[in-house]
Amino acid sequence: MDSREKIAKHKILPPQKSKVFGTNANKSEESSIWVPSSFEIKKRESESGHGHSYKSHKASFTPRNPPTEDSVQPSETIEEPNHSRANLPGRNFLPEKTHKKERLAFTLLAVAGVLVVIGVASWVSYQQGVTYTINRLAELQKALPTPIPAELEKNINSALKSYAHGNATEATSELEALYKRNQTIPSTSFLLALTALQSGNLKLAQQMVDESLSKAEKVSDSLALKAAIEMELAGRGGMGDPKVRAESLLRSAMAADISNPRPYIELGSLLRFQGRNDEARKLFEGAKVRLNPVEGHPLVNTSLALLDLQQMSNSKLPSDLNPDKDTVSLISAAYVAMRKNDIPALKALLAKARDRLSTPLYEYLINDPALKVFTKNPELSKYF
């Protein structure tokens, strides 16, 4: 028996219906599940020499309500929708160049806004500064002292002019009359004490300098003036040691106004009378940097030159001084003539100094400790 006859013949059953779609498996019918028409399945395919790409296909099932024949033909393919912003409904996008212009315009507008804000802030700050300045000037104007009446100022100038020309007695009389009329003018007490001391009225000088200190006017100068009064009282047989009191007052004057050169000069002269020349030199050097160069420097430089000459022996005194060079040389030449007892030359030099120098400067230098020792000579008395 042929072997093929022994093989059982299997009956090929007909295809069963799909439980999901309700039709035969080989027949595509209407699905009970609705799927959006835009749904697609992308099938990956290989392309030789160009890597991989994706190809779009329609879904293997159709929507619940398939399109009619008039709308979509079976042979038509559904195009993939274009998702570019230009084709979105309700939006009309401008070209790229237009966007750049819009961004530039927005940037310029923002910069302009910032500049406007800065300008407004600067203007407000400026107005605040102007307002503050006006208010501050008004406050300072209110704080200014009352101007001295023109007539009284004229009297003060007249008294100072008399004092500058060496007439201390006349200056004292003018200031006394002014003081009786008005005691509120600043520094009147100090000026009256100064002229009274120069005119020899020590009682009035003491009274006025104490009043000046009580008013806290020109404290440093008033203390130095009070020290000078103490030294003058010492020559008249005052009580105690006036040199100690004068030194204390002058050091207090230096502390009261560190920029005032007068206490340095006065204390330097006081220490020279006591033979404390090294200390005096330091004080004169300190005064030199505090002086007005017009009057102060000649005064201090001459004092320093006389201090050096005073410590020299007669054989070492210079003989080539030019009295016409400056104040230092003129007074130094006069001192050398004194030391050599050359009275004719000394008189000529002192006369020249009195004519050339201002009265206050001449009087101060002629009373220097180095020169004052010659006041006992009757031939020279008129020069002191």
* Cα–Cα distance, 375 to 368 (Å, whole number): 11
pLDDT of 225 reads 92
Q: Which helix (H) or strand (E) holds 104?
A: helix 96-143
377 occurs within a structural domain: yes
Q: Is 278 helix (H, G, I), strand (E, B) or coil?
A: helix
58 occurs within a structural domain: no
180 occurs within a structural domain: no
202 occurs within a structural domain: no
What does the block give as tokens for 159?
A: 């008294």
Give the domain range for residue 338: 293-384
For tokens 């104490």, the residue is 210
What is the total count of domains within the chain? 1
368 occurs within a structural domain: yes
Over its length of 384 residues, how does the chain's per-residue pLDDT go in tens digits? 455 555 555 555 555 555 544 444 444 444 455 555 554 444 444 444 444 444 444 444 445 555 555 544 444 444 555 544 445 454 455 556 667 777 888 788 888 888 888 888 888 888 888 888 888 878 777 776 677 788 888 888 999 888 888 888 999 999 999 998 888 888 889 999 999 998 889 999 999 999 999 988 889 999 999 998 888 877 666 556 778 888 999 999 999 999 999 899 999 988 988 889 999 999 999 998 888 766 678 888 898 999 999 888 888 999 888 998 999 999 999 999 988 888 899 889 999 998 888 887 888 888 888 888 887 788 787 887
340 occurs within a structural domain: yes
pLDDT of 279 reads 93
71 occurs within a structural domain: no
pLDDT of 371 reads 85
For 63, list phi and psi in degrees, rounded to 5: -65, 165
Give the contacts of 198 (CB within 8 A, at least 6 positions apart).
163, 168
306 occurs within a structural domain: yes
